[in-house]
Structure 1
């Protein structure tokens, strides 16, 4: 859900969620940076954590490639920061990435990016043989802007495209993806063994028999309506056979009926609004087909959702492929005892699913969600409370604006055994919150159970106030936490900032109370294990931490004088007993030992100065992570120098200098030295002056190694005295590494 109001200042967190603004709350949705860790294997999980999925995902950065690996990156608004694992592979025309299968497959779904406004394609080679049909790609569904959400930048860079390979492959076979005429960034490939199309159940009413066009050339809306009307009188089944069916209008009056297809790869409905209704008598079953929309931007007054409103009590949604819509399921009205399971929800411009009040006994389980433009899974208790609802065994990857899972109010809610990965910008992996957005709002009540969840690379730097958000956040945004919040058996890995955050995000010092954390493994966190910023109390037991970046605890309630936060040691804790001592500053990632990522570029995004620059070619362009931008000093004024503040003294062992690797940049030699300082005023020589050749044939890149005996330095300077290609110093990237 989107960012809401609050008082600027330290301790203020902008929530993220989705608001309904239509009077009837149907048909209208207002939705609703940190260190780059080295790539690691995906989070280990058994069937007990996350969804059991019908496909196997392969990360492009872990596969052989002739392209360029990008990332890792945690800075909002970059391609790598929205990628799975915070890394991907950029392919120029003719470059490729090759995957070796680990299990049988006959289909692939690829998460990719092409530059804004462009289309492209990937040639698919199976065991060295090029398939006749390429994988068509587009930027049509990417590059979403939400200027009404505070802190949002252009986001939603990736998209998903799928292809049946037309043959059965086995473990050990190879699939190579090769960029055709335009640049393509490949993030992850899902390989799947797709079964044959299912057959119609006995007695089912086929939409084709009612006149639907399975080629997708003609609008089939009326045929679907006629089939539903015929089937629901007897509680029968509407059959969607293999094919593509275009629906130009939404369906309503859907109740006491099953709508079933031959499988999500076979029966495809092309519609940006499938079901839109304020109420239903229930017993609706939607299963085993795809609904793929044409939503290219987020218009919050439009009900551009798979389901908008109510399916009624006792309904279910299963085996669905839902893609290119605003929201997968935006649920208002009576949806008691709804079960949503075994679905894929991809590339939505807002939420994946939101229980928007009046939801009791709903179970959402074993779903896969990727690339949401808001909360992937949310409950929001507006008008009436959600109660006794459960999110369990779901796998969530890459929500690019808000949280993986967000609980905004509600009574006796359970969030258990979910896997959440790679949140970005305005979100945590899991948020338990009293942010109301609108009234009447029903705050958290009863017992909120958060158990057995795994959070990987979750949490972000809130862009509104440069305020970090934890992997798991408990937020008394608009009112104190009075419910009993029980957080147990949590695994948090590679959090770019904190593991647990206890906060009143509105900046008014509401208390977080009645909170216990029992049983948690924290493996590498950029700043602290506990980030406490508001009055309240927590008891923490059996929490073990390794690789803490700055200190164990940040305990600084805001606003000043609002009260204290009491952390009670329940026993069994280890690895996080130190406390950050300066409440006037935020701890910076990686300030402690061990470093959260010994392989990161220490210079990226750091403060940079120069003796001079020309036009727009300012010194910050040399540390922005974009090889196409560059710093250029004043002309005909050697010597020139550029200096980057690494933030703290670092034992730099390798400096990489780059120029843009494009044909227009001819080879040149720059004469330069490296200098270092701990105080920014007195510099010593790290590498003596010599000529360095920048050649497009080798990527216009120069690497300068520094011996192990080199003293640690905070301020790293490149001192340039000559350039054969231009009468000025030039650098597109200045990178510094520990190894």
Structure 2
């Protein structure tokens, strides 16, 4: 394929590895500019009213003053630039710096960064100097929670051979076990999950306009700075009339395990009808804290940190776990679940460095009905929040979930009438937000006004089956591989879609990724009929798809079931598409969809890529498009929805040249 220079190396993902390409940035000698505050790497005006409302300001390193080298832009998987917010970052050699200007008063910062792995895996640590207002503090960076390699479910060993020697390898288009001689796969094979985040309280409040300089040390051969979040953190929350965990022996220094003290404080609180309070400090907890009919509140997620090691079990647990670790868990649904649980105002920091799908090493888990989770900060767990129903009426609000090995949040099996709203998610190792209706349908749930950035695998938001669910007002940016922005999938054994599915007023940025297995581009929103047909009442309204790498909208089946399953009756209305590398709509399935007031511009290829089920009948494609009016705009080939494409003209070009559009602008 041909690729515009704005998106280099899309076709050479595996050759890129962890190479670092230098580019132009804001030179150190240039006059300092006003701070450039972004949301998901964009002008906030482009995403107004979408995503989470947060109390920090995001600044991309490439927009700041520095004497390093810009890497990117690049959308290739397995590359540092590809996993960066906005697909661009700044590489520093020892002694080099990035200098940001505070856009408002701040007393706390969060740095998203990458440093090298150890030669044999396991990570390294290195200091980063943080200078502001005449004083310098040290932030300790680590790659111990980054760097996954190889095939699913991945390994921490960069020198490992293939985990599945009989699997299809896209790099050589072969099945190694069926190839003589077996191909030599370059090592490290498929490095990914390069970034981590670190927070730091600055000790005092600095005024808008002051400079914060991040200087790389000799502790790492290079340091990549992706972005800086700056924040004005309020005073610690205090609750004097509560069951205080310190009164029951909890150690705020983190030297002693405090799990038993938490259990005692919870038991006392339930008897005395009090809340549990966790004062400022770092508390070591190395197992699950089981919660039911209790409120636990901290002093705020910057002040109260509950942190634990991952602990190997002597023998596997009944659920298959071979490790345990810090987490707050409701009782199993089979045991009745938990109710009236309210957790707020603290951080949960795990020690998960590998993906073991049977492990229950999540930040929050179990079954929690009639409960709330608010203002938590969760990182370095497997999944931030994983819920196994049946359960109902859970509200998840105002949380920050970062640096996960797998999902940020998953409603798994029979979660009903629950809401996930105003949460900020970055750097997950699988879907950011998911509803997975395995065995029992999820129903009546809403994912609303959340921000999901840089999932390194799979999708920003994924809905796998279910009934009458809603995805609204979210902002999704920079999915990397084997997924895209918003996904509607009949797969993974999910129950069928039934009733309605409402997808409205979302913005998806720099998605429509390259699918390495199929070697084609996905859509910013994509529908996949793999296990069964999709025929529910699905309405997609008011979405904005910006700067799509390939397609904006995709409806697809799999070759083995292409003549068995269809996607029928999806209705798209009031959609804006600003930039596609290829098409507005790509159909690779039987079925139908209608379009009304879908406006597009900067379209790189034919507006509709209609392959249907690849039978190429003389009567036309098995997929029909209905024009309900108001579908305007287009690109290099004219109107995106032309009369000659309707209802089912075959316009099949699986791999058209990619024409990178200009950056999105206000409509």
Give matches, 1:544-583, under 5 Å: 544-560=599-615, 564-574=622-632, 575=634, 576-577=640-641, 583=652
State the secondary structure of the residue aligned to 1:209: helix
CA distance in structure 2 between the aligned counterparts of 1:299 and 1:488, rounded to whole angstroms:
38
Aligned partner (choices 225, 232, 246) of residue 186 of structure 1: 225
Q: In the alignment, is residue 213 of structure 1 matched against residue 251 of structure 2?
A: yes
CA distance in structure 2 between the aligned counterparts of 1:479 and 1:122, rounded to whole angstroms:
51
Deviation at 1:166, TM superposition (A): 1.2
Aligned partner (choices 449, 474, 482) of residue 418 of structure 1: 474
Aligned partner (choices 512, 528, 549) of residue 567 of structure 2: 512
CA distance in structure 2 between the aligned counterparts of 1:550 and 1:43, rounded to whole angstroms:
28
Aligned partner (choices 576, 587, 594) of residue 532 of structure 1: 587
Contact 1:43–1:456 (CA under 8 A) maintained in structure 2: no
CA distance in structure 1 between the aligned counterparts of 2:604 and 2:44, rounded to whole angstroms:
20
Q: In the alignment, is residue 269 of structure 1 matched against residue 306 of structure 2?
A: yes
Could you say which residue in structure 2 is the equivalent of 1:126? 132
Structure 1 unaligned segments of length 5 or more: list them: 1-32, 599-739
CA distance in structure 1 between the aligned counterparts of 2:111 and 2:203, rounded to whole angstroms:
16
Could you say which residue in structure 2 is the equivalent of 1:79? 80
Could you say which residue in structure 2 is the equivalent of 1:427? 483
CA distance in structure 2 between the aligned counterparts of 1:360 and 1:121, rounded to whole angstroms:
46
Q: In the alignment, is residue 143 of structure 1 matched against residue 144 of structure 2?
A: no
Give matches, 1:6-25, under 5 Å: none
Superposition TM-score, scaled by structure 2 size:
0.80
CA distance in structure 2 between the aligned counterparts of 1:124 and 1:111, rounded to whole angstroms:
13
Could you say which residue in structure 2 is the equivalent of 1:669? none
Deviation at 1:295, TM superposition (A): 0.8
Q: Deviations over 1:177-200 (max 9, x none)?
A: 110112110001110001111101
Name the count of aligned residue pairs. Answer: 554
Contact 1:93–1:180 (CA under 8 A) maintained in structure 2: yes
Give matches, 1:460-609, under 5 Å: 460-505=513-558, 507-509=560-562, 510-560=565-615, 564-574=622-632, 575=634, 576-577=640-641, 583=652, 585-590=654-659, 595-596=660-661
Could you say which residue in structure 2 is the equivalent of 1:357? 413
CA distance in structure 1 between the aligned counterparts of 2:582 and 2:226, rounded to whole angstroms:
27
Could you say which residue in structure 1 is the equivalent of 2:186? none
CA distance in structure 2 between the aligned counterparts of 1:214 and 1:296, rounded to whole angstroms:
25
Deviation at 1:505, TM superposition (A): 4.0
Structure 2 unaligned segments of length 5 or more: list them: 1-9, 14-22, 26-40, 119-123, 154-166, 171-188, 309-324, 635-639
Contact 1:507–1:558 (CA under 8 A) maintained in structure 2: no
CA distance in structure 1 between the aligned counterparts of 2:150 and 2:226, rounded to whole angstroms:
24
Contact 1:263–1:319 (CA under 8 A) maintained in structure 2: yes
Deviation at 1:34, TM superposition (A): 6.7
CA distance in structure 2 between the aligned counterparts of 1:402 and 1:233, rounded to whole angstroms:
45
Contact 2:612–2:650 (CA under 8 A) maintained in structure 1: no
Could you say which residue in structure 2 is the equivalent of 1:658? none
Cα distance change on mapping 1:524 and 1:385 into 2, 3 Å: same
Q: Deviations over 1:623-649 (max 9, x none)?
A: xxxxxxxxxxxxxxxxxxxxxxxxxxx
Give matches, 1:229-248, under 5 Å: 229-248=267-286
Superposition TM-score, scaled by structure 1 size:
0.72
CA distance in structure 1 between the aligned counterparts of 2:130 and 2:24, rounded to whole angstroms:
29
Q: Deviations over 1:563-584 (max 9, x none)?
A: 6111111111112136697636
Q: In the alignment, is residue 307 of structure 1 matched against residue 364 of structure 2?
A: yes
State the secondary structure of the residue aligned to 2:86: helix
Aligned partner (choices 373, 397, 410) of residue 341 of structure 1: 397
Cα distance change on mapping 1:554 and 1:141 into 2, 3 Å: same
CA distance in structure 2 between the aligned counterparts of 1:459 and 1:121, rounded to whole angstroms:
37
Deviation at 1:490, TM superposition (A): 0.8
CA distance in structure 2 between the aligned counterparts of 1:314 and 1:584, rounded to whole angstroms:
50
State the secondary structure of the residue aligned to 1:230: helix
For the pair shown, the structure with the greater C-alpha radius of gyration is: 1
Contact 2:511–2:549 (CA under 8 A) maintained in structure 1: yes
State the secondary structure of the residue aligned to 2:268: helix
Cα distance change on mapping 1:559 and 1:43 into 2, 3 Å: farther
Deviation at 1:90, TM superposition (A): 0.3
State the secondary structure of the residue aligned to 1:327: coil
State the secondary structure of the residue aligned to 1:228: helix
Could you say which residue in structure 1 is the equivalent of 2:52? 51
Deviation at 1:60, TM superposition (A): 0.3
Cα distance change on mapping 1:497 and 1:584 into 2, 3 Å: closer
Deviation at 1:261, TM superposition (A): 0.2
CA distance in structure 1 between the aligned counterparts of 2:406 and 2:258, rounded to whole angstroms:
27
Could you say which residue in structure 2 is the equivalent of 1:63? 64
Q: Deviations over 1:589-638 (max 9, x none)?
A: 11xxxx5259xxxxxxxxxxxxxxxxxxxxxxxxxxxxxxxxxxxxxxxx
Contact 2:112–2:196 (CA under 8 A) maintained in structure 1: yes
Could you say which residue in structure 2 is the equivalent of 1:169? 206
Contact 1:533–1:555 (CA under 8 A) maintained in structure 2: yes
